[in-house]
C-alpha cells in the first residue's frame, strides 16, 4: 500500500510586489514647454511647470529647487500626481472566461509620469478542483510490456490518488512504435504505428482498465522510436484526445529507447516538413509516411502555446540495459516546462504525483511590455531558495493576462521529492479480518497450517515474492460468479415476455474487489401496450377530439405494426365543478371522467368517441393534474395490465391548476394519491385539492407510466402554453413535451412508443456498503449504452463492489437492477467473504497445543471463554510476559508491541491511546484529515461511514447535496455531482461554463427555475401564515425558507443577488405576484412581495383619438404638399410657355386692349370737409 506523507491543505496566498517605471535619460529641468517639463521626472526628483502669467523667471524647475525656493511660482504650480485605480478585481473562484479566478486584480488603470516608478500588488490563490487531464504516451514495443502491465494494475489507484488533489481528473492512453515504412519496419516481420489514440481521456476507470487490456504491442528494426510524432499528434488532436479547455494538461511519454528527430523521416519517404496539425483517422496517425518527424522547436512551440506539461519517463531497455537519460535530459531542456524522470519498477504513480505537486506548488511570473517601459517583479525562482515562487498545498496554477502589467502566470517545475513509504496492510490476527481486507491491486491471504511460526496474514504480493511461505495450506478464497437464472428472450415469466437477462446471479465476493457482470436487453415483440388519452374537452378542443375519432382505426393499425397487443382508452377533463371556476347555470364540467376504458375493440372505441360530451368553465387553467392522478391510480377501472408499457397522452390547449388552487372552491384536503371513481367520474373533486407535481412524479415513477404532454394553441387566444408544460415535463420522471399540430396525434404516439421501446435506462437498489456502477449515461450527448438497435439488443456492463463488511452479519446483501419502466429485473445475491470457512465452527475438541483451554481454528488456537493468549495458557488473572518475541511485528523490533502496549501471553494488549493493531503498530491519529469527521481511523487508515469514501472520507457519495431545493435534477441537469459538489458543464456554443452552487446561474436558467418554484411560492402567498401546509403539499422543502416583503423593500440592496420571478394570477385584470429567490450556501431563500402587481390599464379612447388625429394630420399635410407641388408645376409650365413664345417672335407684353374690369366711381354727395 502506498501512503503519502501528510499534506497541509491550507492555502498559501502569495503577494507579488511589482514596479513599473518609464526610462528617461534627462536629468535637468530646462525645457521650453510644459509637456517636455512634466515628462522629465525620475525616482528622486522631478520637474514642475509654472503657469503663472506674467512670470519673469524660468518656468520649468526641479522639485528640489521648488522646495528650497518657496517664493518661486507660489500659486500656479503644475505638478500632476500619479495615481492607481483597480478597475477589475473579481473574487477568487468566480468563473471568468470559462475558468475560476486565481489571480487578481485583472485590470488596473494608472496615471503615470515618465521616470517615476509605480508600485502595485498581485495576489495568486490556487483554485480547488481545477480540471486535470493526464495522458500517457506509451512505447508499445515488446520491451515495454512490463510497464503497460504496471499501468493497468495501478489505474484505479492512480485515479484515487489524484482525486485527493482534484475531483476533476481524467486519464487517457496513446501508444507508438515507429513509422510503418522500410528500413525502420518490415510488414512481414513487424507490427507498428507512429501513433494510436488507444483510450481518449475519461474519468470512467472501468472503461480505462478494460481498454488497457486490449492495447497491442509492436516491433521494428531500429532502437529510436516515433516518440515526437506521437507527441505532436497527442497535443494537436484536441477533439479526438478529449482535452478540455482550460484544464491542466500533462503528457507522460514512457519509453526505453531514444527518438527520431526532424530529417530521419526522409529515409522512409516522409519528405514533407511537419505541418503541426492533427491527422488522425480512426484514432491512428494516417500521414506518418507523408510528413517528416516534427522538430524539437515545433514540439516546444505547440507545448508552450497550448499549455502542455511534458514528462519524459525513461526506463532501461530490458534487452540492452541501456538508459537513454542523456538524450531525454537534453530534450527536456529544449522544451518549455518539460522535465525528465527515470521510470523505476512500479513508480508510475509516484512520477505522476510528483509532477502534479510540482505543477500545483510553484508559480513564476513573466511579462510583456513596450521597450520604453521597465517592469520589475519581486520574485526570483532561479535563486536558492526561490523567492515568492512556492505555493504549498494540493492546488493548481493557471495562465491569466493582466492589462496593465501584461503579467502572465506560467507553470514551472521545481525539484521536489514526495516522501513515499510502504505500508503493511495485511497484519491481522484472525482469518476473517485478513481475507476481508482485499483491494483491486492486492489482497490478504491467510495461512491455516499448524503449527506455523511465521505471521499468518500476508499480502498476495508478499506471497508471490516469497514462494516458500505457507506452501500447502493457503486460504485465499477466489471470487466467483454464477448465473442461476437466465431465461431466454420472449419466454413468458410472471405474465410478461422476458426482455432482460440474466434474471438472477449469485456472486461470492471479497470486500474491496469489484466484480463485473453483463446485462442484455432485447425489446419483446407483441409486448402489451396500453395507450390512454386524457382529453381536455372544453369547447376549444372540439377539433382535436374529432381528429382523434377519425384516426382511431389508423392509430390502432399503425401501433399493431409494433405489437399485436395494443389497447386504447380515453378519459376527459375540464375543471372542478365549483364556483368561481364553474357556474352550474352556465357551464357543464367535470374534473375527470373515464369515457372509454382500455380496449382492443376499435368498433366500441370509435362508437364511444362520438358520445364524448364537451364542457366549459370560467378560467383558462384546467384540472389536468386531477385527471392525471385518477388515470394513473385507478388501475382496475381504467384497465391497466400488469407489466404492460403504459403511455398517457394529455391533450390540452390550456395551463393546469396545481396544489393550493383547490382551496378556492373549498377542496382543502391535500390529495391522498388514491382512486376515487364512482360511475367512472371523479367523485371527490370538491373534497381533495389538486395533486402536487411531486405527487404526480411519485406515482408515475412507481407505477412505470410514461406521460406525454401534447399541447396545442388555444383556438380563441392563439396562445401556446409550451413554457408551463416543458417545465412540468422536466419535473416528472420520463415525461416529455410535444406540440400538437394539425393531425399529428398518431405521430406523437408512434414517436413515444419507439422511444419507449428502443431505449433503456437502468436503476438499482443496493445496501449502503455496496457500490454499484453501470456503464451507461443516458444524460450525456450522445447518450451512451441507452439506445437499442432496430430489431437488435444491447448489452450493458456493470460492476459491484462490497466496500466493507456489514455491521449486521444477518443483513441481506443483495442488489436489484431493472430497466426503468419494466417489471423485468436482475437480482444479484452476494455471499460476502467476511468470515473464513474454518471459522464457522463455534467449538471443537480440546487441543493439547492450546493447553486444553481451546481448539484449533484456522491454524490458531481459539480459546474457550476465560482463557486467552497464543496458546490459551493465560486466564483472566495471568500476567505472564514470557512470550515477548511473539509480540513483535518483526524480529528486528527493539521492543514488543512496538513499544506502545503490554505483551501478555504472546498477545499485545492495552495499546496506548491512539494506537491499534495486533502489535500496536498503527498510529490512529495519522489518518488524513482525521477522516474528515466522516469515519473512524483504525489500523492507521480511514474506515468511512456509509455514503463517504476516499482516503480521508471527504467524498460524499450521495447526490442529494447536488440537487437544488425543490428540484429533481442533479446539478440542474447542467453538471456532474462529484463528492457532493456540482462540477458544472460548459455552455454549449460558448466559451464559458455554468456557475452557481447547483449550476443554475446563467442567462437562460432563471426562467426555468422560476417556473419550478412558482407553485410553491404561490401556495405560500395564499397561506402567508401557514408555511407548514405548503411544505406538506410539496416534497423536498426542508431547505427552503420563505419571507415576505413590501414592494419597496423587495427591491432593496439586501436582495441584490436574488433573481426576479413572477406568476400570473387567475384574475380578470391580469394581476401577478412577484417573488425572488437566492441561495444561501445550499439552502434556498424565497422572498415574496406582499402586494400583487396590476398592469396599467390602457385608455382606449386615447388610442382611438390618437389614431384618428394621426390620420387627419397625414391627410391635411398631404393636401398642403399636393397644393405646393401643383403651384410649382404650373409656375414652371407658364415660364416654359413664355420662353417658347418669345423664341417664336411673339409679343408677350400686356394686351393694350385689355381694360381692368374694376371701375371706381366718386360719390358726388360726399363732403370731404365733414370731418
Taking the C-alpha atoms of residue 345 and residue 196, their distance in angstroms, rounded to an integer, is 25
Fold classified for 132-360: Rossmann fold (3.40.50)
pLDDT attached to residue 629: 95
- From 43, 37, 38, select the one nearest 23 (Cα to Cα): 43
Of residues 179 and 945, the one with the higher pLDDT is 179
**Segment holding 280, helix H or strand E:** strand 280-281
d(CA 571, CA 630): 10
Query: 21: part of which helix (H) or strand (E)?
Result: strand 14-22
Instruction: State how far the alpha carbon of 378 is from the alpha carbons of 365, 384, 806, in Å.
Output: 10, 15, 57
- pLDDT confidence band for 349 (50 / 70 / 90): low
Nearest residue to 831 (alpha-carbon basis) of 484, 481, 486: 481
Residue pointed to by grid coordinates 376499435: 602
- Of 290-304, 315-329, 744-758, the one with minimum mean pLDDT is 744-758
Instruction: Please give the grid coordinates belonging to residue 152.
Output: 493497468
pLDDT at 405: 29
Q: Among candidates 1075, 1074, 1062, 1069, which has minimal Cα distance to 1094?
A: 1069
Contact criterion met (CB below 8 Å) for 819 and 760: yes
- What whole-number percentage of the chain has pLDDT above 70? 85
Burial of 691 (0-12, 13-18, 19+ CB in 10 A): buried
> For 943, which DSSP code?
E
- 324 alpha-carbon distance from chain centroid: 42
Is the pLDDT score of 406 beyond 70? no
pLDDT confidence band for 26 (50 / 70 / 90): very low
Rg for the chain, CA atoms, rounded: 42
Confidence of residue 491 (pLDDT cuts 50, 70, 90): confident
Closest CA to 621 of 1065, 225, 1150, 181: 1065
Grid coordinates belonging to 415: 525539484
More confident residue, 1143 or 494: 1143
Which phi and psi (to 5°) does residue 588 adopt? -130, 120
* Highest mean pLDDT: which range of 294-298, 436-440, 778-782: 294-298
What is the chain's length?
1171
Q: What confidence tens digit (pLDDT) does each residue in 156-169 have? A: 667 777 776 777 88
Query: Considering only the top CATH level, what class is 529-747?
Result: alpha beta
Instruction: Render pLDDT for 546-596 as a digit per residue (tens, 0 to 9).
Output: 676 666 677 777 777 777 888 889 999 999 888 888 788 887 889 999 999
> What would the mean pLDDT of 469-485 be, rounded to a whole number?
88
Residues contacting residue 484 through CB under 8 Å, at least 6 positions apart: 502, 504, 505, 506
Question: Which residue has cell 474506515?
Answer: 943
Where do the domains of the chain lie? 132-360, 422-477+838-943, 480-510+761-832, 529-747, 1005-1097
Contact call for residues 998 and 965 (beta carbons, < 8 A): no
Phi first, then psi, for residue 463 (nearest 5°) are -65, -40
Contact, 866 vs 468, CB < 8 A?
Answer: no
Distance CA 886, CA 1138 (A): 141
Q: In CATH terms, are 422-477+838-943 and 1005-1097 the same topology?
A: no
Q: Mean pLDDT across the stretch 640-654? A: 86
Spatial distance between the Cα atoms of 1152 and 1139, rounded to a whole number of angstroms: 21
Query: What are the pLDDT digits (tens) for 919-950?
Result: 888 888 878 878 888 888 877 778 787 778 88
At 216 the pLDDT is: 80
- Tally of helices (H runs) and strands (E runs) in the chain: 22, 63
- All residues at 6 or more sequence positions from 448 whose CB lies less than 8 Å from its CB, including other chains: 431, 456, 473, 474, 475, 838, 858, 859
Residues 424-444 have pLDDT tens digits of 567 787 888 888 877 666 788
Residue 380 clears pLDDT 60, i.e. is over it: yes
Mean pLDDT, residues 64-74 taken together: 83
> CA-to-CA distance for 641 and 494, rounded, in angstroms?
12
Residue in 404, 409, 399, 367 with CA at minimum distance from that of residue 119: 404
Q: What is the pLDDT of residue 24?
A: 36
Asked if 1075 and 1043 count as a contact pair (C-beta separation under 8 A), the reply is no
Count of other CB atoms within 10 angstroms of residue 1012: 23
CB hemisphere CA count around 3 (13 angstroms): 16
* Rounded average pLDDT over 326-340: 86
Alpha-carbon distance 1128 to 303, whole Å? 78
pLDDT grade for 971, boundaries at 50, 70 and 90: confident
pTM of the model: 0.46
Please tell me the predicted confidence (pLDDT) of residue 291.
Answer: 93
**Is the peptide bond prior to 863 cis by the omega test (within 30 degrees of 0)?**
no
How high is the pLDDT of residue 972? 83
At 407 the pLDDT is: 28
The three three-digit cell numbers of residue 174, written as one number: 496513446
Half-sphere exposure of residue 581, counting CA atoms within 13 Å on the CB side? 25
* Residue 580, preceding peptide bond in cis (omega within 30° of 0): yes
Quote the CA–CA distance of 841 and 860 in Å, as a whole number: 13
Q: At what angle do helices 145-162 and 205-212 cross, to 10 degrees?
A: 170
Q: Looking at the predicted structure, is the pLDDT value of residue 876 above 80? A: no
81 phi/psi in degrees, rounded to 5: -95, 130
CB atoms within 10 A of CB 1125: 10
Cell of 973: 441537469
582 within 8 A of 664, measured Cβ to Cβ? no
Give pLDDT, residue 877: 55
User: For 1005-1097, which CATH class?
Assistant: few secondary structures
Which positions ≥6 away from 616 have C-beta within 8 Å? 538, 539, 574, 586, 587, 588, 589
CATH topology of domain 480-510+761-832: Immunoglobulin-like (2.60.40)
- The cell for 649 is 397522452
What's the pLDDT band for 827 if we cut at 50, 70, 90? very high
Q: Report the alpha-carbon distance of residue 657 to residue 149 in Å, rounded.
A: 62
The residues near 211 (Cβ < 8 Å, ≥ 6 apart) are 173, 198, 199
Plot region of 1095 (φ>0 → left; ψ -120 to 50 → alpha; else → beta): beta
pLDDT attached to residue 886: 76
More confident residue, 805 or 286: 286
Q: Residues 435-474, buried b or exposed e (16+ Cβ, 10 A)?
A: bbbbbbbbbbbbbbbeeeeebbbbbeebbeeeeebbeeee
Query: Which pLDDT value is given to residue 1034?
Result: 67
Mean pLDDT of 749-778: 80
| Cis peptide preceding 385, ω within 30 of 0 | yes
The answer on pLDDT for 18 being more than 60 is no
CATH number of 422-477+838-943: 2.170.300
Q: Helical H runs in 1023-1099?
A: 1027-1033, 1047-1050
Amino acid at each position: 500500500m502506498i501512503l503519502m506523507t501528510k499534506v497541509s491543505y491550507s492555502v498559501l496566498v502569495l503577494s507579488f510586489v511589482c514596479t513599473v517605471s518609464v526610462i528617461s535619460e534627462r536629468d535637468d529641468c530646462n525645457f521650453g514647454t510644459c509637456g517636455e517639463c512634466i515628462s522629465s521626472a525620475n525616482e528622486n526628483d522631478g520637474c514642475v511647470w509654472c503657469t503663472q502669467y506674467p512670470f519673469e523667471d524660468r518656468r520649468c524647475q526641479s522639485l528640489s529647487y521648488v522646495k528650497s525656493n518657496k517664493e518661486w511660482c507660489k500659486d500656479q504650480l503644475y505638478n500632476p500626481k500619479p495615481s492607481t485605480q483597480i478597475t477589475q478585481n473579481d473574487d477568487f473562484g468566480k468563473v471568468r472566461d470559462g475558468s475560476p479566478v486565481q489571480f487578481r486584480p485583472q485590470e488596473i488603470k494608472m496615471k503615470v509620469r515618465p521616470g517615476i516608478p509605480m508600485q502595485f500588488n498581485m495576489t495568486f490563490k490556487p483554485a480547488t478542483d481545477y480540471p486535470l487531464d493526464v495522458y500517457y504516451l506509451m512505447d508499445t514495443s515488446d520491451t515495454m510490456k512490463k510497464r503497460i502491465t504496471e499501468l493497468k494494475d495501478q489505474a484505479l489507484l492512480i485515479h484515487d490518488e489524484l482525486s485527493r488533489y482534484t475531483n476533476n481528473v481524467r486519464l487517457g492512453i496513446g501508444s507508438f512504435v515507429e513509422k510503418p515504412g522500410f528500413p525502420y519496419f518490415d510488414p512481414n516481420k513487424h507490427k507498428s504505428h507512429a501513433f494510436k489514440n488507444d483510450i481518449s481521456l475519461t474519468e470512467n476507470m472501468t472503461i480505462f482498465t478494460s481498454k488497457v487490456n486490449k492495447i497491442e504491442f509492436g516491433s521494428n528494426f531500429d532502437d529510436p522510436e516515433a516518440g515526437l510524432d506521437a507527441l505532436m499528434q497527442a497535443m494537436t488532436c484536441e477533439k479526438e484526445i478529449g482535452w478540455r479547455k482550460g484544464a491542466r494538461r500533462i503528457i507522460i511519454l514512457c519509453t526505453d529507447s531514444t527518438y527520431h528527430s526532424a530529417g530521419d523521416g526522409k529515409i522512409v519517404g516522409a519528405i514533407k516538413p511537419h505541418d503541426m496539425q492533427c491527422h488522425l483517422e480512426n484514432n491512428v496517425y494516417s500521414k506518418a509516411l507523408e510528413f517528416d518527424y516534427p522538430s524539437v522547436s515545433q514540439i516546444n512551440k505547440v507545448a508552450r502555446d497550448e499549455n502542455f506539461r511534458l514528462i519524459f519517463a525513461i526506463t532501461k531497455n530490458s534487452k540492452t540495459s541501456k538508459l537513454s537519460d542523456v538524450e531525454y535530459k537534453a530534450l527536456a531542456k529544449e522544451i518549455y516546462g518539460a522535465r525528465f524522470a527515470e521510470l523505476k519498477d512500479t513508480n508510475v504513480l509516484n512520477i505522476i504525483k510528483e509532477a502534479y505537486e510540482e505543477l500545483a506548488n510553484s508559480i513564476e511570473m513573466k511579462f510583456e511590455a513596450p521597450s520604453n517601459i521597465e517592469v520589475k517583479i519581486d520574485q526570483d525562482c532561479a535563486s536558492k531558495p526561490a523567492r515568492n515562487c512556492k505555493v504549498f498545498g494540493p492546488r493548481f496554477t493557471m495562465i491569466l493576462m493582466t492589462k496593465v502589467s501584461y503579467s502572465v502566470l506560467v507553470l514551472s517545475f521545481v525539484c521536489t521529492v514526495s516522501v513515499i513509504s510502504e505500508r503493511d496492510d495485511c497484519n491481522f490476527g484472525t482469518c476473517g479480518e485478513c481475507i476481508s481486507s482485499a483491494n483491486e491491486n492486492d489482497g490478504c491471504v491467510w495461512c491455516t497450517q499448524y503449527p506455523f511460526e511465521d505471521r499468518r496474514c500476508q499480502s498476495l504480493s508478499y506471497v508471490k515474492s516469497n514462494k516458500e511461505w505457507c506452501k500447502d495450506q493457503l486460504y485465499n478464497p477466489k471470487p466467483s460468479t454464477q448465473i442461476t437464472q437466465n431465461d431466454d428472450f420472449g419466454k413468458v415469466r410472471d405474465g410478461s415476455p422476458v426482455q432482460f437477462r440474466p434474471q438472477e446471479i449469485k456472486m461470492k465476493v471479497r470486500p474491496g474487489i469489484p466484480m463485473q457482470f453483463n446485462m442484455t436487453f432485447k425489446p419483446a415483440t407483441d409486448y402489451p401496450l396500453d395507450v390512454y388519452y386524457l382529453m381536455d374537452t372544453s369547447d376549444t378542443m372540439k377539433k382535436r377530439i374529432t381528429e382523434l375519432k377519425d384516426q382511431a382505426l389508423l392509430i390502432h393499425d399503425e401501433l399493431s405494426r409494433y405489437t399485436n397487443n395494443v389497447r386504447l382508452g380515453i378519459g376527459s377533463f375540464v375543471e372542478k365543478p365549483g364556483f368561481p371556476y364553474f357556474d352550474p347555470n352556465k357551464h357543464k364540467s367535470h374534473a375527470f371522467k373515464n369515457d372509454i376504458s382500455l380496449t382492443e375493440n376499435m368498433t366500441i372505441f370509435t362508437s364511444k368517441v362520438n358520445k364524448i360530451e364537451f364542457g366549459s368553465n370560467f378560467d383558462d387553467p384546467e384540472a389536468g393534474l386531477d385527471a392525471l392522478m385518477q388515470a394513473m391510480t385507478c388501475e382496475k377501472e381504467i384497465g391497466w395490465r400488469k407489466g404492460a408499457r403504459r403511455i398517457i397522452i394529455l391533450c390540452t390547449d390550456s395551463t393546469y391548476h396545481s396544489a393550493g388552487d383547490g382551496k378556492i372552491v373549498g377542496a382543502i384536503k391535500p390529495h391522498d394519491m388514491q382512486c376515487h371513481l364512482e360511475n367512472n367520474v371523479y367523485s371527490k373533486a370538491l373534497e381533495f385539492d389538486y395533486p402536487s407535481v411531486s405527487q404526480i412524479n411519485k406515482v408515475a415513477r412507481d407505477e412505470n407510466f410514461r406521460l406525454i404532454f401534447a399541447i396545442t394553441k388555444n383556438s380563441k387566444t392563439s396562445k401556446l402554453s409550451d413554457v408551463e408544460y416543458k417545465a412540468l415535463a422536466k419535473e416528472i420522471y420520463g415525461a416529455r413535451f410535444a406540440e400538437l399540430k394539425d393531425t399529428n396525434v398518431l405521430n406523437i404516439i408512434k414517436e413515444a412508443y419507439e422511444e419507449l421501446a428502443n431505449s433503456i435506462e437502468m436503476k438499482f437498489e443496493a445496501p449502503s456498503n455496496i457500490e454499484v456502477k453501470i456503464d451507461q449515461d443516458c444524460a450525456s450527448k450522445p447518450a451512451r449504452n441507452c439506445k437499442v438497435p432496430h430489431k437488435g439488443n444491447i448489452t450493458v456492463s456493470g460492476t459491484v463492489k462490497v466496500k466493507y463488511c456489514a455491521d449486521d452479519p444477518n443483513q441481506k446483501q443483495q442488489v436489484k437492477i431493472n430497466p426503468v419502466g419494466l417489471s423485468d429485473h436482475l437480482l444479484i445475491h452476494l455471499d460476502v467473504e467476511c468470515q473464513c470457512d474454518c471459522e464457522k465452527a463455534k467449538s471443537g475438541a480440546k487441543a493439547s497445543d492450546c493447553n486444553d483451554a481451546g481448539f484449533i481454528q484456522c491454524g490458531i488456537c481459539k480459546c474457550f471463554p476465560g482463557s486467552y493468549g497464543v496458546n490459551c495458557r493465560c486466564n483472566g488473572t495471568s500476567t505472564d510476559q514470557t512470550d515477548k518475541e511473539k509480540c513483535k511485528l518483526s524480529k528486528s523490533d527493539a521492543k514488543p508491541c512496538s513499544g506502545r502496549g503490554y505483551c501478555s501471553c504472546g498477545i499485545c494488549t492495552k495499546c496506548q491511546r491512539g494506537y491499534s493493531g495486533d502489535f500496536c503498530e498503527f498510529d490512529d491519529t495519522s489518518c488524513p484529515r482525521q477522516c474528515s469527521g466522516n469515519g473512524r481511523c483504525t489500523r492507521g487508515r480511514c474506515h468511512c461511514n456509509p455514503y463517504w469514501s476516499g482516503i480521508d472520507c471527504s467524498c460524499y457519495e450521495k447526490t442529494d447535496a447536488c440537487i437544488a431545493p425543490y428540484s429533481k435534477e442533479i446539478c440542474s441537469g447542467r453538471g456532474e455531482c462529484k463528492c457532493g459538489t456540482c462540477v458544472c458543464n460548459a455552455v454549449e456554443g460558448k466559451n464559458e461554463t455554468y456557475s452557481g452552487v447547483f449550476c443554475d446561474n446563467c442567462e437562460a436558467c432563471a426562467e426555468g427555475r422560476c417556473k419550478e418554484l412558482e407553485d410553491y411560492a404561490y401556495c405560500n402567498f395564499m397561506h402567508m401564515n401557514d408555511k407548514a401546509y405548503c411544505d406538506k403539499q410539496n416534497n423536498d422543502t426542508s431547505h427552503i425558507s420563505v419571507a415576505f416583503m413590501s414592494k419597496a423593500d423587495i427591491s432593496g440592496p439586501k436582495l441584490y443577488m436574488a433573481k426576479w420571478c413572477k406568476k400570473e394570477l387567475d384574475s380578470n385584470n391580469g394581476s401577478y405576484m412577484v417573488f425572488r429567490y437566492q441561495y444561501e450556501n445550499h439552502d434556498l431563500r424565497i422572498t415574496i412581495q406582499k402586494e400583487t402587481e396590476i398592469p396599467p390599464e390602457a385608455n382606449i379612447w386615447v388610442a382611438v383619438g390618437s389614431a384618428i388625429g394621426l390620420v387627419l394630420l397625414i391627410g391635411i399635410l398631404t393636401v398642403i404638399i399636393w397644393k405646393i407641388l401643383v403651384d410649382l408645376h404650373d409656375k414652371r409650365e407658364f415660364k416654359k410657355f413664355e420662353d417658347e413664345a418669345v423664341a417664336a417672335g411673339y409679343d408677350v407684353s400686356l394686351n393694350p386692349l385689355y381694360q381692368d374690369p374694376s371701375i371706381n366711381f366718386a360719390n358726388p354727395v360726399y363732403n370731404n370737409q365733414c370731418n
